[in-house]
Amino acid sequence: MRFLREHRWQLAALVVAVTIIVAGKQSYRNASAGELGWILAPTARLVSAVSGTSFVYEAGVGWVDRDATFIIAPACAGVNFAMAAFLALSLGWLARMRTLRGTAARVGGAAALAYVATLVVNTLRIVIAIALHRGTIDVGELDHAEVHRIEGIVIYLGGLCALYALARAIEPRSHHDAVAG
């Protein structure tokens, strides 16, 4: 019982994080491009700004740039990354979740930072994918679909590692950590 009492806010944060992730997976599963506009529209604007492309919304499809022959569709939304980022940040800050206020602030901060990180990381991933599509980046004889898949894995994994490191770096060290370190 003592453990539960001492760690109740950390356990509550884990329950909230898992609940958000499960609900997010369920809602994302069949979401249309229009329903994912909250993440796809800003991503398309950022990709356009960075890559010099011009993406416009096309109902039922997603954000399309006909000149680049490229579509930012629901599969490109980065929602799975956003959920993983939210979890990585929540776990990174878990040790300091000792009060209701601190837990709420960190869980809310994790959600906000995960959203911003998703926009940044997903923009980078799509800009590289456009360069691969245009042939700006030479992949030689490699299969373009496989290169695109590997590129996504590397970018997303690097983004998650960076987020976790950021969460740990900006979180003040506890007294116990300071004594042990």
Residue-level pLDDT at 37: 94
What predicted TM-score, i.e. pTM, was given to this entire model? 0.83
In whole angstroms, give the CA distance from residue 79 to residue 170: 24
Has residue 178 got a pLDDT over 50?
Answer: no
Assign 169 to helix, strand or coil. helix
Residues 109-138, mean pLDDT to the nearest whole number = 90
Residues 160-165, mean pLDDT to the nearest whole number = 86
Residue-level pLDDT at 9: 87
* pLDDT tens readout for residues 125-137: 999 989 888 777 7
Residue type, 18: V
Q: State the maximum Cα–Cα separation within the chain, in Å, rounded to a whole number.
A: 63
* pLDDT tens readout for residues 95-106: 788 888 988 988
Residue-level pLDDT at 180: 43
91, 89, 99: which is closest to 6 by C-alpha? Answer: 99
Residue-level pLDDT at 172: 62
Residues 164-171, mean pLDDT to the nearest whole number = 78
Q: Are 17 and 87 in contact (CB under 8 A)?
A: yes
The H or E element containing residue 126 is helix 100-134
Name which of 9-18, 103-112, 160-169 the model is least confident about. 160-169
DSSP string, 42-90: HHHHHHHHHH----EEETTTEEEETTTTEEE-GGGS-HHHHHHHHHHHH
104, 122, 124, 96: which is closest to 39 by C-alpha? Answer: 122
Residue 87 burial class via C-beta count within 10 angstroms: exposed 0-12, middle 13-18, buried 19 and up:
buried
Has residue 6 got a pLDDT over 70?
Answer: yes
* pLDDT tens readout for residues 31-56: 999 999 999 999 999 999 999 999 99
In whole angstroms, give the CA distance from residue 128 to residue 136: 9
